[in-house]
Amino acid sequence: MRTETIDALTDYAAAHPDVMLLTADLGYSVLERFAEALPAQYANVGVCEQAMAGIAAGLALSGRRVVIYSIANFPTLRCLEQLRNDVGYHDLPVTVIAVGGGLAYGAQGYTHHGVEDLAIMAMLPNMMVTCPADPHEACALLPQLLDRRRPAYLRLGRAGEAVLHAPGTPITLGQASWLRHGTDIALLATGPILGRALAAADALAGEGISVGVASFPTVRPLDAAAVRAAAGYRAVLTIEEHAVEGGFGSRVAEALFSAGLTPRFGKFGVTEALRGQIGSQTWLLDRLPPIAQQARALL
């Protein structure tokens, strides 16, 4: 997913010379194509994410559209104050790309686990928050974010994510897309964990349970119409590779409550049981109760 996204960014920036990419000494084997093709639109600022965010704000105030890139928590939590005050508060055209969201860097330990970012970034002023499920969503969202010329967050997986959408599927900022329809339970997913949601839907369908599956590549603003549609099912389960508190599931729950809708509801996500655990992304996710099991319990 990251390679496809940077390729899309390179093509976009080649056609829009006001776009600039900053990295904090990360992205090796990924950013070289951009740097070689557009050296005047690229800068490695070194391992200083706070400065990177401040530089991005200054460039944006000078008429640039800026993309900042790093892994997991580094372009978000490490420079949170600068994103809040310099970028968000001033409503500047800065797009933050975090690669390796969720548990993609699981073997690096908790310092590299990006499991609070969706909640935190969605609280910042003027920040649009996106979490694409596959390269198709990521490459569709990127130019739309840049065209907005406002603060944005694009959370990517690490590498090798499968394409989950059929070719040509339209992906629009702020809108969810339904991959399957049913009547019993709606599985609402954000990010690459959509693949596990689809596998769970297959397992449940084998038991005669009718399942709908929707991908929410935009976390803020949330697609309220899709949430209302999900409330027509007997139960709703949100699925995210993020802490269960404050993230996508919490935003869906708030939307349901605000609309007076009360389906049976549950959230699948990272729990305290994984705090401090070290292992591959697959190993860590397998430590959580299976999605199908949690869905079944709601019916």
Report how far Cα 189 is from the mean position of its chain's Cα atoms. Answer: 11
H or E segment and range at residue 137: helix 135-148
Q: Pairing relation of β-strands 218-220 and 128-130?
A: antiparallel
What tokens appear for 17 in the block?
A: 């010379």
Amino acid identity of 13? Answer: A
Amino acid identity of 208? Answer: G
Q: Say whether pLDDT at 27 is over 90.
A: no
The pLDDT of 119-146, averaged and rounded, is 98
| Cβ neighbours of 207 (radius 10 Å) | 9
What are the pLDDT digits (tens) for 69-80? Answer: 999 899 999 999
Edge-first strand listing for the sheet containing 177-180:
177-180, 211-215, 185-190, 235-243, 264-270
What are the pLDDT digits (tens) for 152-178? Answer: 999 999 988 999 999 899 999 999 999
The pLDDT of 57-80, averaged and rounded, is 97
Identify the pLDDT of residue 145. Answer: 98
Q: Work out the pLDDT band at 149, boundaries 50, 70, 90.
A: very high
CB 127 within 8 A of CB 219: no
Runs of H (alpha helix) within 49-134: 49-61, 80-82, 117-121
What are the pLDDT digits (tens) for 217-244? Answer: 999 999 999 999 999 999 999 999 999 9
Strand partners of residue 124: none
Identify the pLDDT of residue 159. Answer: 83
Structural domains in the chain, sorted by start:
2-155 (3.40.50.970), 177-298 (3.40.50.920)
| Cβ neighbours of 106 (radius 10 Å) | 22
